[in-house]
Amino acid sequence: MAAAKKKTAPKKPARTTQKGKTAIITGVTGQDGSYLAELLLGKGYQVYGVMRRVSSFGSTGRIDHLLDNPNFHKVYADLDDGPSIDALVAKVKPDEFYNLGAMSHVRVSFEVPRYTIATNTLGVLTALEAIRQHSPHTKFYQASSSEMFGDPGVPVPFNEKTPMIPQSPYGVSKLASYHLVQQYKNGYGLFATTGILFNHESPRRGENFVTKKISLAVARIKKGLQDKLELGNLDAKRDWGWSPEFVEAIYQIMQHDKPDTFVVATGETHTIREFVEEAFKHVGLNWKDYVTFHEKLLRPNEVPKLLGDATKIRKTLGWKPAKKFKDIVREMVDHDLQNL
Ligand SMILES: NC(=O)c1ccc[n+]([C@@H]2O[C@H](COP(=O)([O-])OP(=O)(O)OC[C@H]3O[C@@H](n4cnc5c(N)ncnc54)[C@H](OP(=O)(O)O)[C@@H]3O)[C@@H](O)[C@H]2O)c1
């Protein structure tokens, strides 16, 4: 049987406005989306920040300072609502589409697996199809995750060639979308890229993620507003980086001369216990006096150790992280102490 002819995207130059390039960011209200919006605005982009309609105020807390920027355009759309993404892409025809929107919590994905797949996999398909149909010159970035790895039998560190055997609905949803990106790149010639990012933190991390839960609890305990901190598995090892630096990597991946896949990691791994210990030590307290264990916080499946090998991005794009583990912990705690 004759091999199917590969379709290639029309060679159209990136559309630029007088003020610079245009970019759509899904997940702009999240940790990474907010830093990425700042980065792109700083470079003169017109940024279309995708927001979901929510019933309570406060979901724009990370981007409130951007809402009055004339180059920031707040748009309502939802990865679970195909027509809204389709119409947005058809209207804006952006130079770049950063897909950071996701049901991003691993443990919660065990409780809402179908929803996780719908947003994180079908949502990606929706965005890729919209680009293929309406704006094939648009470059696409997909936020892939180290949770796509995780089989305890596979030796660390993990790089772009490591077998991916996810251990959660979240990991499965991200792996499926990772393959969709490869398919749209290879089959349709789209500039479809992906970064496999290991955990990355900042003061803007969501409050139900373990690092932020710890930094916030430490600040509250120090100020006498809380007595105990309930945690699950303290032995899980993670490769923790700094979100603003990882967002810079995302940007560089998108500016590379060809669409490719890059692991983004620090190459250091630490247990959750070490994070807890460092956070309490920073405010002069002993963690053992405050931390209690609760079974309900364990995941049905755990990835015991995540450690990334970011050699490829360092050699190809020159990206490397600077912020060290202890400084990440301290900066998060200091922020929460100041902002309580
Ligand atoms: N942070 C990490 O360590 C890490 C590591 C690897 C990969 N990632 C991935 O990187 C991306 C950004 O991470 P993050 O830490 O910034 O996550 P985050 O703070 O949890 O933000 C997630 C964003 O996705 C939006 N979102 C959720 N469902 C959506 C939907 N149906 N349609 C449109 N938007 C939707 C959220 O909007 P609302 O504000 O309305 O909820 C929020 O803006 C995510 O895809 C995440 O899975 C993160």
* Residue 181 forms part of a structural domain: yes
What is the best residue among 56, 75, 100 to mutate for testing ligand 1's pocket, by most ligand atoms within 8 Å of CB? 100
| Structural domain includes residue 315 | no
Which residue has the CA at smallest separation from atom 9 of ligand 1?
143
Residue 10 within a domain = no
Write phi, then psi, for 299 (nearest 5 degrees).
-90, 150
Residues 48 and 164 in one domain: yes
Q: What is the pLDDT of residue 19?
A: 56
Question: How many folded domains does the chain comprise?
Answer: 2
Kindly state whether residues 220 and 249 are assigned to the same domain. no
Q: What is the pTM of this model?
A: 0.94
Task: Taking residues 263-268, report their average pLDDT.
Answer: 98
Q: Percentage of the chain with pLDDT > 90?
A: 87
Considering the domain architecture, whether residues 80 and 195 belong to the same structural domain is answered as yes
Which residue CA neighbors atom 6 of ligand 1 most closely? 145
Residue 332 lies in a domain: yes
Q: Is 30 helix (H, G, I), strand (E, B) or coil?
A: coil
Ligand 1 lined by 145 (C-beta under 6 Å):
yes
Question: Is 8 contained in some domain?
Answer: no
Residue 31 phi, psi dihedral angles, 5° rounding: -55, -60
Q: What is the predicted pLDDT for the residue at 58?
A: 75
Q: For residue 128, is it within any domain?
A: yes
Both 115 and 250 in one domain: the answer is: yes
Q: Is 273 in the pocket of ligand 1 (CB under 6 A)?
A: no
Q: Do 173 and 85 belong together in one domain?
A: yes
Task: Give whole-number Cα distances, 17 to 14, 38, 85, 94, in Å.
Answer: 10, 18, 22, 10
Ligand 1 close to Cβ of residue 103 (< 6 A): yes
Give whole-number Cα distances, 89 to 93, 118, 183, 206, in Å. Answer: 5, 19, 20, 28
| CATH number of 44's domain | 3.40.50.720
Binned at pLDDT 50, 70 and 90, residue 51 comes out as very high
Phi, psi dihedrals of residue 22, rounded to the nearest 5°? -110, 145
Domain membership of residue 137 as a residue range: 19-200+240-264
60-112: pLDDT as tens digits: 999 999 999 999 999 999 999 999 999 999 999 999 999 999 999 999 999 99
Do 150 and 118 have their domain in common?
yes
Are 144 and 232 members of one domain? no
- Integer Cα distance of 176 and 333 in angstroms: 35
Report DSSP letters for 60-100, one per residue: TTTTGGGTT-TTEEEEE--TT-HHHHHHHHHHH--SEEEE-
Statement to judge: residues 260 and 334 lie in one domain: no
Same domain, 94 and 41: yes
Q: In this structure, what CATH number is given to the domain that contains residue 233? A: 3.90.25.10
Please indicate, yes or no, whether residues 218 and 152 belong to a single structural domain of this protein. no
Q: How far apart are CA 88 and CA 22, in angstroms?
A: 13
Q: Let me know whether 171 and 228 are in one domain.
A: no
Q: Give the Å distances, CA to CA, from 195 to 72, 181, 246, 321.
A: 24, 11, 10, 15
Q: Is 147 a catalytic residue?
A: yes
Tell me, in angstroms, the distance from the centre of ligand 1 to residue 27's CA.
Answer: 5
**Catalytic pick from 170, 178, 184, 251?**
170
For 196-208, write each residue's pLDDT tens digit.
999 999 999 999 9
| Closest C-alpha residue for ligand 1 atom 28 | 102
C-alpha separations of 38 from 72, 107, 125, 244 in Å: 10, 29, 27, 10
Instruction: Please indicate whether residue 117, judged by its CB atom, sits closer than 6 Å to ligand 1.
Output: no
Check if 188 is active-site: no
Q: Which of 45, 84, 146, 147 is catalytic?
A: 147
Decide if 170 is catalytic. Answer: yes
173 lies in some domain = yes
Instruction: Look at the block and give the residue holding tokens 């940790």.
Output: 31
307 domain-assigned: no
Q: Which of 109, 135, 144, 145 is catalytic?
A: 145
- 218 shares a domain with 92: no
Q: Is 104 in the pocket of ligand 1 (CB under 6 A)?
A: yes
Distance CA 286, CA 118 (A): 43
d(CA 35, CA 251): 11
* Residues 239-262, mean pLDDT to the nearest whole number: 98
Where is average pLDDT lowest: 6-15, 117-126, 147-156, 259-268? 6-15
Instruction: Tell me: pLDDT of 3 over 50.
Output: no
pLDDT confidence of 10, banded at 50, 70, 90? very low
Please give the number of the atom of ligand 1 that sits closest to the Cα of 204.
19
